[in-house]
Chain A
Amino acid sequence: MTTFKELNNACQWEDDYAPLGQLILIRDRAPSDGSLFIHHLLNSYLAKQYKKGVGLVSLNHTFLHYQTIELKLNSNLLKEGENNNFHFVDAVQGLTQSFLGEEEVMQDNTLLYASPVNVTDVKKPQCISVWKPDSDLCESLFQHIRKHADKDCLIIDHLNPLLYAGDGGVYKLMRKLHELTKKENVTVVVAIHDCAADYRSEETRTANFIEHLSDITFRVSGLPSGYSKDVHGQVEVVYKKDKNTFDPPKHVKLHFKTMDHSAKLFAIGNV
């Protein structure tokens, strides 16, 4: 994907860089948003055309959101789904269902995958499955992923709603996902919103825990100088070259600007 060429260049990655068997963490802090890196990785793995394809678990947005953006980035999730190269797990409704304790909450609602402007005559795409939680949220989500989204790359956007599941469910889930990366050579991408105000918060502790396990980390944050119209934030890419050596992790810091159809990453001070 040419949009993120600067990022790949800075990190000395190939243009079609999409490694397998990695745990990749995207941790963002308000007011910035790391969703552009989710789309970058989603696009990269779809373009790479691995055998099993990509699975996207969304606890944040509906399918329509991702489809709209991916269309702008020259990728069609519906077509990829038809080719069995993509699967979408809608976990947003599961959160509502879990909180209400209802049996079924809006499971077949067309608004989950169609625009409110065009809700009529839309059939549910085959590549979407809706997660139905039970008493153990994280475990049931993991089981659902294994059943429906057994792919080469698994993207989870984002982990924060599961932090309130209790009993350290998120930690267990992350351990299991980490095992997947090593045993089955699956790449797992996890996004989490970090809390800048308090380093003892659950968000920060979980983000630190995952960063410790991860191979590549994208730390996305706003500019220290405050809001800017031309630079929307900064990203620090931390990647561990080889865990068997004592080489320190490599850091690359870039500024970025997101636009409707693309994103621009550039060296600091080089707008």
Chain B
Amino acid sequence: MKAIIAATILGIIMMFAGIMAKEKKPLATLATILLFILLGVNIWDLTNTSSLAPQSLFNNMLRIDRYALWFNTLMTGCTLLYVLLIGKEIQKVGAHVAEYFALIFFILCGVYLLSCYNNMLILFIGIEIMSIPQYILAGSDKRNLKSSEASLKYFLMGAFSTGILLMGITLLYGATGSFNIISFSFLQADHLNTLALAGILFIMIALSFKVSAAPMHMWTPDVYDGSPTAFTAYMATVVKAAAFFAFLRLFQVSFGSLSSQWTLVLAIITAATLLVGNLTAVFQQSVKRMLAYSSIAQAGFMLFAILAVNAVAWQGIIIYSVAYSIATIGIFTVLMKLKDYTYDGFNGLAKKEPLLAFVTTIFLFSLAGIPLTGGFMAKYYVLQALIQQGHLLWLVIFGLLMAAISVYYYFRVIIAMYFKEGNAELHSPVTATDKFMLVFTCLLVILIGLFPQLLLGNI
């Protein structure tokens, strides 16, 4: 598990580079190079672990399997894509560019811990390592009151949910006498005590908070809206995906045999998330806020994978994470080019920048789940997982109805770009590099839609 160590060291290098270099641009270039190195380390990890059998590390604190390594690699890839697309905007946020990039490395370290923890304490530490840099990033636009508010709100709510998580872990420890998540799987439904049940419920609530599932979603729109857009793009994608992976890992590996106990609660949470996310997104006027609610709505679909408790669910969460991350990062990239974040700001974009409008359309198709885009395959896998589970068909139908609602607000952007008169004002000119990167991202989305098996590698 060299990637965890590498992420930390590279993060520190990045931090010290801030002292050496005064210019912003070389720092961004350095961050890109370091991310390439990190990606390389991840791939090294992946090729080294050729055996399919999971292996334990650090006194059984971590348990490496191929799902985890593969997920890490993909998420590092997404981060790299994020930095390539949005790196320029990160430089504009404030003066401390080196720190922003360093914090992203630390977040990645948290992501790696979350994907392969085998001990509840590592889960806790991973979530903290991942969250604390985010609190800072949310508040990095210091002179903006909304940014500070977002940071404070995120921090307070985050601290609150961490408390609940700790309580849950404690209760489970009381019930089983162990922190090891594999040992929880010996919990059986027929001799289950209240302690363990309460612990599971607490952990479910805390993790629902991290993935912004309703009714623990209240912080999401404000934080996403208030934070600098460059960082919202990251929070809404890779970070969220990692939280989902941790969620899935715990509930499938440890609590899978108890699924009859918690399925109904989680199903209701899922239904509420889909309902709240989609219905509220319809009424937004700002595209940035709409994307925040849409990320809640998409979380509803990702929860399908956790409810399913089967092998397809792993594939589902991996494909969903990547497809959703790529499309969302793409849309945020376009959004940041615009002056006005409302729907009206997109009016007439197709005439002014046809390429920008076209790639945005593909990203929106992906989020809406139109075939031949990654988003369709993602939805397909989680639906398949839940249908295979067999007991929650009502939720499948409900989710599909909600997906139809989501078309409404995603297509409003398309309607604004193509069919409305207007002069979409751009913040900064679209350079050839931008165009190249956006087209590349767009091709990735279509490639995943055509051949989703590429994303699953050999797991």
The judgment on whether A and B are partners is no
Chain B residues in contact with chain A, CB under 8 A? Answer: none
Chain A residues in contact with chain B, CB under 8 A? Answer: none
